[in-house]
Amino acid sequence: MNEFLLEGFPPVVDPDAKVLILGSMPSEESLRRRQYYAHARNQFWDIMGELFGAGRDVPYTTRLQRLRTRRVALWDVVHQCIRAGSLDSSIESESVKANDFARMFDQCPGIAAMFFNGCKAEELFHRQVKPGLRDVLAGVDLIRLPSTSPAHATLSKQEKVACWMQVLDHLS
């Protein structure tokens, strides 16, 4: 299997964002289509449909706008890495270059909660980003949610939706 240096996407964010949802690194399908969570079996957009009316039935640009309107930002922890395939477990740890979160917090000082889409996003953030941002993160809630990836099938979609409802609690 070939390994390539992959580069993620820019954030989907407005300066008044209150919540930041973080994945690890876009899948092969997402990179190919240049869209967050593009894999047809990933439940992210299904869950966003339940929470914000930003489901797969809505054009991609409209979905992103609906998140921004609700003050939800979307990004990944990883800016660049080497990974064979799409699995988080295939990310070569020593190749990871994290996104610039100091700049994100400068541009969006109202972010009060960060939600990690699964364990790998949380792990990478705590290892690669958090040590350099301890002061900035002092008042920010850091919350891991169940992964929306098709590789994480231990919970039903409705169980995941119930967990992801926490995002709404941080927007009120």
**Catalytic hit among 2, 42, 99, 117:** 42
Q: What is the pLDDT of residue 87?
A: 61
Query: What's 4-169's CATH class?
Result: alpha beta
Over residues 78-125, the pLDDT tens digits come to 997 767 766 655 667 777 789 999 999 999 999 999 999 999 899 999
Q: Which residue has the tokens 């992964």?
A: 147
CB 18 within 8 A of CB 71: yes
3-class state of residue 117 by DSSP: strand
The token pair that represents 96 in the structure block:
């990871």
User: What residue spans define the domains of the chain?
Assistant: 4-169
Write the secondary structure of 75-124 as one string of H (helix), E (strand) and C (coil). Answer: EECEEEEEECCCCHHHECHHHCEECCHHHHHHHCCCCCEEEEECHHHHHH
Looking at every residue in the chain, the average pLDDT score rounds to: 91
CB 14 within 8 A of CB 71: yes
User: Does the predicted model carry a pTM greater than 0.75?
Assistant: yes
The token pair that represents 146 in the structure block:
């169940």
Q: What is the pLDDT of residue 74?
A: 98
Over residues 2-28, the pLDDT tens digits come to 567 888 999 999 999 999 999 988 888
99 in catalytic set: no
Chain centroid, CA 36 distance in Å: 8
